Amino acid sequence: MLQNKNIHNTLKQEGIKTFTHVNTSNAYSVLSKLIFRGSKIIPSIKSSDSVVRLRKNLEENSDNSAYFFVHLDTLDTIAHEYGPDSYEYSSELSSITYLLDKELVQKLDTKTAKETALLLTADHGGLKVDPRETTYLNCLPKAILNLQVGKNRKTILPIGGPRELFLHIKEEKLAETKDWLIQKIGDKAQIIETKEAEEKGLFGLGIPNNEVIERTGNLLILPYGNETVWFENSEGNKISFLGQHGGLHEEEMLVPFSITTLNNLKG
């Protein structure tokens, strides 16, 4: 839960306008309203119109300091569907690179290009997996029986993803369930208490919000290598994506990062 100021509110207090270019499907979701609070959201249909609108926005605000956040989501979609080592992924990456160069870098006026810094990165990496090899917790009834019951009197089902699965285990059964899971799937995944994961810094620097810890439960499953562990919480809800992320494999955790002025990219 984000209860404190975000970067947009911080910059706004300093008199700096912020703009968020994001796909229409995500522009007005609850999450977007939360993390982009304080920023002017500019929705787009495709990556192409998002980049074009960014260029126009840069030129319209060239006389003032401003921050522009742009989220191009197609590469992530392709990585999930076909895998991060697929030809489809390489093709999409080439398409985005060409688009940024053709419609942003080369067409942006020289003055604005000199005064605009570009930071390019990703929110995560990606890992190729084999969905057919997924281990489903439904096959482990004892672990399921030890799941907590929520305020609505319904069992709290596993959450997260197939590369980082969180369980809400009854506290009095936590040690027992952890040991049992280690016996059953310990060769495929690390079983670690969420509290220990927090102490080891797996949730990042600083002290996590208490609500985050509450939502993530008390037991965490982190598959090794290219393994996946999941819970079929409804019939047919099986793993199908060839690309996943969220675990501790370096291909999931390491992301590219580059910074330069747009003028340096002009041919």
DSSP letter assigned to residue 67: E
Do 11 and 114 lie in a common domain? yes
What pLDDT, on a 0 to 100 scale, did the predictor assign at position 90? 97
Paired tokens of 4: 């404190």
What pLDDT, on a 0 to 100 scale, did the predictor assign at position 1? 45
150 vs 168: CA distance, rounded Å: 9
Do 43 and 119 lie in a common domain? yes
Specify which residues 190 forms β-bridges with: 222
CATH number at 155 reads: 3.30.1360.110
| Domains identified in the chain, total number | 2
Instruction: Classify residue 248: in a domain, yes or no.
Output: no
Instruction: Classify residue 1: in a domain, yes or no.
Output: no
Do 121 and 182 lie in a common domain? no
Q: Which of 41, 30, 46, 31 is nearest to 8 (CA)?
A: 41
pLDDT digits (tens, 9 = 90+) for 78-107: 999 999 999 999 999 999 999 999 999 999
206 vs 194: CA distance, rounded Å: 15
Do 50 and 154 lie in a common domain? no
What pLDDT, on a 0 to 100 scale, did the predictor assign at position 76? 95
Do 95 and 198 lie in a common domain? no
Do 181 and 219 lie in a common domain? yes
Do 52 and 145 lie in a common domain? no
Residue 233 has phi, psi (to 5 degrees) of: -80, -5
Q: Which residue has the tokens 């489809």?
A: 88
101 vs 99: CA distance, rounded Å: 5
Write out the chain's pLDDT in tens, 267 residues. 455 678 999 999 999 999 999 999 989 898 898 899 999 999 999 999 999 999 999 999 998 999 999 999 999 999 999 999 999 999 999 999 999 999 999 999 999 999 999 999 999 999 999 999 999 998 877 777 799 999 899 989 999 999 999 999 999 999 999 999 999 999 999 999 999 998 888 888 877 777 777 788 999 999 999 999 999 877 767 899 999 999 999 999 999 999 999 999 987
What pLDDT, on a 0 to 100 scale, did the predictor assign at position 3? 59
Range of the domain at 188: 131-240
Q: Nearest 5 degrees, angle CA 243-CA 253-CA 189?
A: 70
Paired tokens of 118: 């570009």
CA distances from 215 to 29, 153, 168 (A): 20, 16, 9
Instruction: Classify residue 247: in a domain, yes or no.
Output: no
CATH number at 102 reads: 3.40.720.10
Q: Which residues contact 183 (CB under 8 A, 6 or more apart)?
A: none
pLDDT digits (tens, 9 = 90+) for 126-145: 999 999 999 999 887 777 77
Question: Against a cut of 0.75, is the pTM above it?
Answer: yes
